[in-house]
A = this chain, B = another copy of it.
């Protein structure tokens, strides 16, 4: 239950790989995919989206590739996860839609708490922390 999909895993592995490179360094998609052991075509989609969201810069043509668009310390795990998986919500009940049976639904408040806890944890972790090599 409540599992991150491959897409989410790939996204994290991909951006963490980028964050491990010297700042501003441009890496090829093929290089990232190989290093992080994931399908390049799938990662392409993820990174295209990251580019739109301003997490990474993309450069076409010879010498092109991707680089981090902001300091790794300024990108949270939550941002990355939500970018690919959508808002963190343990069930429909706690999305922006709200809960039509919230009057009777006590479970509602439980999911709300779960959501807050998870969001809180993921907000507190940056890509920079994840990218650090052994202490």
Interface residues in chain A, defined as those with a beta carbon under 8 Å from any beta carbon in chain B: 1-4, 8-9, 12, 16, 77, 81-82, 85-92, 106-107, 110-111, 113-114, 117-118, 121-122, 125, 129-130, 132
How many monomers of this protein are in the complex?
Answer: 2
Known: A82-B1, A86-B1, A90-B4. Contact between A121 and B130, CB under 8 A?
no
- Interface of A, secondary structure class, is helix
Using A4-B91, A82-B1 as known contacts, say yes or no to A121 and B132 having CB atoms under 8 A apart. Answer: no
- Chain B hits for A88, CB < 8 A: 1-2
The complex places the Cα of A107 from the Cα of B89 at a distance, in Å, of 20
Known: A110-B77, A122-B110. A87 touches B132 (CB 8 A): no
Question: Does B106 lie within 8 Å of A129, measured CB to CB?
Answer: yes
